[in-house]
Structure 1
């Protein structure tokens, strides 16, 4: 079997094999992926993955309640003292988005319930033959992006949202010959 060709480092290979396109309905993990994908905007995923442990430490393992309570001073400390991407807007978006996730959890029971409602609870399992066939965005990511922006989320453009949906397993974009594709596991 031929694996996806995009993982170019050991760190990326581990992410590809253990997390990418794997269904995960844990709100804390989902919030982490949403935050990390937002941090990626304009950068490579590898850059973000290399900083993941620093992000986890800085944002208290992406505990939604703790992130929602971060003060401006704490956010500035994260920006200056941790090995995270220094973009002020991206750092502040973690708190903003955590507050909005809490609202979604109250309304839908969980962030996972809200997101999975867009696909009626069933993952989209694509059958790509080459990684070059994988789109950067789709109608689903465009719709979810618009809806998240309407709610007030930051750093949730259609391309970011598409990568986010892959990261939590709503979309499986492993190439069909990859042993990590849903049909081959």
Structure 2
């Protein structure tokens, strides 16, 4: 069996972070619902550790109806109140409202481009960026592509998403 080469940041990590690294970190996303899932999780991660979000991921999946942007876009005050009382997720009103807003904006982009994936990948000419990171200090928290995409997301009305979280 081929041994997985791991980044420095995962060397002393727990099982959940190792699984995330080995199965998801750096894997290009093309499916819209999976992209929406990460946009929701990343927006809730702002100010917190990724480990915290991964530990609550299953709860987020349930609370946000398997990250279906159509369903999330229709959340009302009743659903917001329910989410604010859900101890399994991050109970931050601004982030919850941002997720609902972002679901609506996500669907607008999807309508404009055919898929959200097509829109997202246009910022990198439809090719994954390989930064050839050897050690954690090589990793850049910002890139011109992420900055451009974040600016466009903001212009389109997305909230709680910036160049370091996307």
2:9 corresponding residue in structure 1: 6
Greater shift, 108-117 or 5-14, is seen at 5-14
Q: After the TM superposition, which residues 16-165 of structure 1 pair with which residues of structure 2 at under 5 Å, given as runs?
A: 16-161=21-166
How many residues are aligned here? 161
Q: Which runs of 5+ in 1 are unaligned?
A: 162-185
Q: Distance in 1 between matches of 2:109 and 2:163?
A: 20
CA distance in 2, matches of 1:157, 1:2: 29
The alpha-carbon deviation at position 150 of structure 1 amounts to 0.6
Partner SS state of residue 8, structure 2: coil
What is the deviation of 1:34? 0.5
Deviation of 1:81 after TM superposition, in Å, equals 2.4
* Contact 1:58/1:82 (<8 A) preserved: no
Query: RMSD of the TM alignment (CA)?
Result: 1.1
TM-score by length of 1: 0.84
TM norm structure 2: 0.93
- Between the aligned partners of 1:141 and 1:64, the Cα distance in structure 2 is 22
Q: Deviation per CA, 1:6-44, whole angstroms, max 9, x where unpaired?
A: 121100000100111111211001000011011000110
Cα deviation for residue 102 of structure 1 reads 0.6
- Runs (4 or more) in structure 1 with deviation over 3 Å come to none
Report if aligned partners of 2:32, 2:117 keep a CA contact under 8 Å in 1.
yes
Question: CA offsets per residue over residues 144-169 of structure 1, 9 Å max, x none?
Answer: 111100100001111112xxxxxxxx
Which residue does the alignment assign to 1:169? none
Query: What 5-or-longer segments of structure 2 have no aligned partner?
Result: none
Greater relative contact order (CA < 8 Å, ≥ 6 in sequence): 1
Contact 1:24 1:30 (8 Å CA) reproduced: yes
> Tell me, what secondary structure is at the counterpart of 1:6?
helix
